[in-house]
Structure formats: structure tokens, C-alpha cells
């Protein structure tokens, strides 16, 4: 099954920001496009707005004047649903309410031919449930674009329980013909991106709620150590706290209130107070003109230790040993069964975040995971109240000698980057095990849909298949509520790697 022919008319129903963006994508690809909105006059306004964006593309030399004129000639706003008769594809981008979408598609079935592909851009509702109201549910698919649709390449092509393979394939190939990067997925709450991404927000909010660190520090650590483009607090302020929380609640409810998807009370209070982010001028941060952005906590300068003793290879943080030597700090190595730590001159120990609290040990300072320890500009440290100030100072001075800013946070098991990545890997592995998508499509979706520095399976290969499960086992042991419980799929995933290693 191939993509729709460019002569085939495409309709977009709903002319808000997303609807206009999808219409622009189809239009620039070469299709005749029809716009419809239930509000009188809204389709004409949307057509004018799309025309203005085409003008800007010409100004930026991304579109020729002739191409713009041809696209404008193919764009037709219609005032009645019957104006969509003869379309080969209708994409809906209306209010996120099941009854509204079902009513719309039932009406469309009386207008369009039986071979017309029907698609919803829903981000949180069940594709199966929307299509369940149709006479011909086999032609119904999800085409989930990401905002802004003309710029972001990812499209999740979602097959509902009744979707025909031919319909899903045609939708997939059409999205690819439009210059997008489609990924195929089954109809599951949150699809790929909104399902797997929940821990990125949830773990940051949990660290904040436990008084482990403030929003500016958590954001900085995830950016400067984890390699994420934006931190979760600044990102949800951009998205809108109400929008982000709504998706979180939808996924949580759809998974029968699975503890792993539990929403944040702190975010709920933010929404209740009307502090929705940039659009209201205040969210986690103050976005008023002239408002000062809070700075992340950064430790004062400290003297580096003269030497460190390396016990074990430091696992995922092994590249630190070369950096320490390059900084002029002597590294003394000694064998230690089960040891993967640095011993400081004063007797304190530096241990990579492993899901345990520092309160369990004497003079242990945990350091957080980094995407790339050489390129990271900030490292988080965590310690208990009884940890000696000398151990904290030596640990701080060591990382400062490597050219890193240091953020000292509270005694947070799993810290910030490590627990976030572990939980993302877990949900990704479980999604693949349940047939939601392939490993490659999950990685593609997370890199392109939310700009993660690595896909979850890329992270896992780098850290070791067993790493996430071991860290989550420790977290679950401390907090058996189920929030951080590793899935059975993650256990099987790690065991599968062990089996391959044991095979002669």
C-alpha cells in the first residue's frame, strides 16, 4: 500500500494551532487541502493565517514564490461538512473529548466515500474508542503530530484494535511522503512518547516534593549532566501546566491508576492556582517582563583531593578515571570485590547513584549519572546529614577540578538523572514487550518527539541492560508503593542479555 497520490484532496477538521499546522504540512507536500471548522468564519481565518506563514517561508527562502502561489491555490476553506465530500483523507484536530470526536466522525461517514482514510490527531484519547462509533472502523487510524507540526518531524501512526493493516500502512507512507518521520504503534494510553516520557516529569516533581532540590537546580542538572535540551520545570511551563497535567492524568486513569504514572500534587496545586506557565505569566517560574530567573544551586569552590583510590571500574562512570588523571589528581587503583567507588583521602567514598540513600552508609557521597562525563558541565552530589563535611568538600573539589559546576542536593535515592533515565528505560522496555512499538521506533520517537539526547534503548546499551533494573529494585525496596517498581519486562530484558553472554 503506497502513500496517497498528490492529486488526492486532504481535509483538516479543526483550525486551531495544530489543525493549521497539519494543513500546512499537507499543502506544502502538494495536496489540495480543504479546511473545515464548526465555528462560522474560522476556516477562512485559518486559511489566511496559513497563507501568511507561507509568505514567511518565502522570506526565509524555504519556499519559492511560485510554490507559495500554487499552495495557496490548492487551499480551500469550506463552511459545511459536506464540502469535504470526495476527500481521500480527513485528519481531525478538534476538542479532546471522546463524544465530540465520535459525533464528528459519524457525521463524516455520511459525507466521504467508503475508501476515505479517517484519522485523529488525539494525544490522549483511545483511537479504538473513537473509531468504535464508526460503521467502517477499519479505515480509522491515529496520526499524532507534534506541535509545531510543520517543524517537528515525528508522527505517531496509531493502529486501533479495529484498524486494517492497509489503512495503517497507507497512513504511514503518506506521513513519510510529507517529509515526516513516522513511527508505528499500537493503541495504548499515551502511545509511545506520552507514555514513555511520564518519568521525565514525575521524577523531577518527586525530587522537588521531597525537598531534595529546587526547580532551577533540577532543570540545570538534567540539562547540563543528563544532556536533555530542557528541564521538566521549564518545559512544562512552556507546554502549559494544565496541558501537561491533563495528559498525565489521562495516562494514569487509562492504566487503572497504576502507581508508576501517579500525578504530582505540587503540579495539581499549580494548576488550581492558575499558574499555568508562560501563557499566564507564572508557573514554576515567573515569566513576567523583567523577572529574574532563579539560579541553580552551585557549590562554592573547594580544594581538590591530592589523590583518589579507585575500587572497581566505576561502571557507567568509568570515563571519570581518565578525566581525574588529566586534571592532575593521582588515581591509585586497588582490587576490591564488588567495589565500584572512589575512596577520598579523608576516608569518604564517592559512589555512583544506585537507588540507595546515603543515610544507609557512613561518609558516602553519591554522584549522579551523566550522559557524557567529559562534556557535562554540572554534576550533582548527594549526602546524608551525618556525612562528614570533609568528605563533601573533597568530593566537591574533585569534580570542580574536572571543570564541573557542582550542585549539592538532599539525600535523594537515585538522585536526579539516574532515577529519571532508569524509569524511562523501564517504561520503554515494557512498551516493546507489550507490542506497542519496536525498539527502534521507541528510540526514534523519544529523540524526535521530545528531543531526548538518546533513545531509551540507546541509553540501556550504554549503561548495561541490568543497570536500570538494579537501580529500580533499590528504589522500590525503599519505597514499596509501586511508583518505582521495575516491570517484569525489564527483568526479562536483562536476563535475555545474560543468556546471550552465557551462550558458547
Q: Which residues are catalytic?
A: 123, 144, 156, 194
CA–CA dist 378, 221 (Å, integer): 6
- Spatial CA neighbour of 434 closest among 124, 138, 156, 191: 191
**Grid cell listed for 192:** 509511545
Calculate the CA 2 to chain-centre distance: 30
CA–CA dist 490, 428 (Å, integer): 9
Provide φ and ψ at 215, rounded to 5°.
-55, -45
Provide φ and ψ at 378, rounded to 5°.
-145, 140
Helix ranges, 90-197 (H): 98-109, 127-131, 165-177, 193-196
Peptide bond into 148 cis (omega under 30): yes
Which three-class secondary structure string do you get for 19-55? HHHHHHHHHHHCCCEEEECCCCCHHHHHHHHHHHHHH
DSSP secondary structure letters along 254-270:
HTTS-GGGPPPHHHHHH
Query: Is the CB of residue 234 less than 8 Å from the CB of residue 219?
Result: yes
Give me the sign of the Cα torsion angle 245, 12, 55, 175.
Answer: positive
Amino acid at each position: 500500500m503506497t502513500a496517497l497520490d498528490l492529486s488526492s484532496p486532504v481535509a483538516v477538521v479543526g483550525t486551531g494551532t495544530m489543525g493549521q499546522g497539519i494543513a500546512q504540512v499537507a499543502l506544502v507536500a502538494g495536496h489540495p487541502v480543504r479546511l473545515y471548522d464548526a465555528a462560522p468564519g474560522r476556516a477562512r481565518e485559518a486559511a489566511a493565517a496559513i497563507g501568511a506563514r507561507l509568505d514567511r517561508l518565502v522570506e526565509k527562502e524555504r519556499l519559492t514564490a511560485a510554490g507559495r502561489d500554487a499552495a495557496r491555490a490548492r487551499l480551500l476553506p469550506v463552511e459545511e461538512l459536506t464540502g469535504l465530500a470526495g476527500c481521500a483523507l480527513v485528519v481531525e484536530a478538534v476538542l479532546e473529548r471522546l463524544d465530540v470526536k465520535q459525533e464528528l466522525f459519524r457525521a463524516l461517514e455520511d459525507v466521504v466515500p467508503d475508501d476515505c482514510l479517517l484519522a485523529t490527531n488525539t494525544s490522549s484519547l483511545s483511537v479504538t474508542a473513537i473509531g468504535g462509533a464508526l460503521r467502517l472502523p477499519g479505515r480509522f487510524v491515529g496520526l499524532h503530530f507534534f506541535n509545531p507540526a510543520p517543524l517537528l518531524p515525528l508522527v505517531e501512526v496509531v493502529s486501533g484494535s479495529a484498524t486494517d493493516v492497509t489503512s495503517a500502512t497507507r497512513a504511514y507512507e503518506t506521513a513519510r511522503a510529507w517529509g515526516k518521520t513516522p513511527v508505528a504503534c499500537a493503541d495504548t494510553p499515551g502511545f509511545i512518547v506520552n507514555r514513555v516520557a511520564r518519568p521525565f516529569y514525575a521524577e523531577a516533581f518527586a525530587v522537588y516534593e521531597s525537598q531534595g532540590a529546587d526547580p532551577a537546580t533540577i532543570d540545570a542538572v538534567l540539562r547540563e549532566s543528563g544532556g536533555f535540551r530542557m528541564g521538566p520545570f521549564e518545559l512544562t511551563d512552556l507546554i502549559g501546566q494544565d496541558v501537561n497535567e491533563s495528559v498525565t492524568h489521562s495516562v494514569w486513569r487509562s492504566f487503572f491508576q497504576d502507581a508508576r504514572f501517579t500525578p504530582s500534587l505540587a503540579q495539581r496545586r499549580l494548576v488550581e492556582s492558575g499558574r499555568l506557565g508562560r501563557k499566564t505569566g507564572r508557573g514554576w517560574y515567573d515569566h513576567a517582563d523583567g523577572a529574574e530567573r532563579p539560579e541553580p544551586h552551585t557549590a562554592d569552590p573547594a580544594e581538590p583531593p591530592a589523590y583518589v583510590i579507585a575500587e572497581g571500574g566505576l561502571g557507567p562512570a568509568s570515563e571519570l578515571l581518565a578525566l581525574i588523571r588529566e586534571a592532575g589528581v593521582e588515581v591509585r587503583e586497588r582490587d576490591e570485590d564488588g567495589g565500584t567507588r572512589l575512596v577520598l583521602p579523608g576516608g569518604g567514598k564517592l559512589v555512583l547513584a544506585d537507588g540507595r540513600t546515603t543515610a544507609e552508609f557512613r561518609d558516602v557521597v553519591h554522584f549522579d549519572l551523566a550522559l557524557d562525563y567529559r562534556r557535562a558541565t554540572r554534576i550533582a552530589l548527594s549526602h546524608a546529614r551525618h556525612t562528614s563535611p570533609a568528605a563533601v568538600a573533597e568530593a566537591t573539589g574533585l569534580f570542580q577540578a574536572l571543570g564541573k559546576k557542582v550542585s549539592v542536593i538532599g539525600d535523594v535515592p537515585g538522585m536526579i538523572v539516574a532515577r529519571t533515565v532508569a524509569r524511562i528505560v523501564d517504561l520503554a522496555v515494557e512498551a516493546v514487550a507489550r507490542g506497542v512499538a519496536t525498539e527502534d521506533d521507541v528510540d526514534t520517537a523519544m529523540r524526535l518527539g521530545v528531543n531526548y539526547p538518546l533513545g531509551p534503548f540507546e541509553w540501556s546499551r550504554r549503561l548495561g541492560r541490568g543497570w536500570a533494573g538494579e537501580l529500580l529494585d533499590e528504589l522500590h525496596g525503599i519505597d514499596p508503593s509501586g511508583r518505582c517498581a521495575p516491570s517484569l519486562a525489564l527483568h526479562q530484558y536483562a536476563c535475555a542479555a545474560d543468556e546471550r553472554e552465557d551462550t558458547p
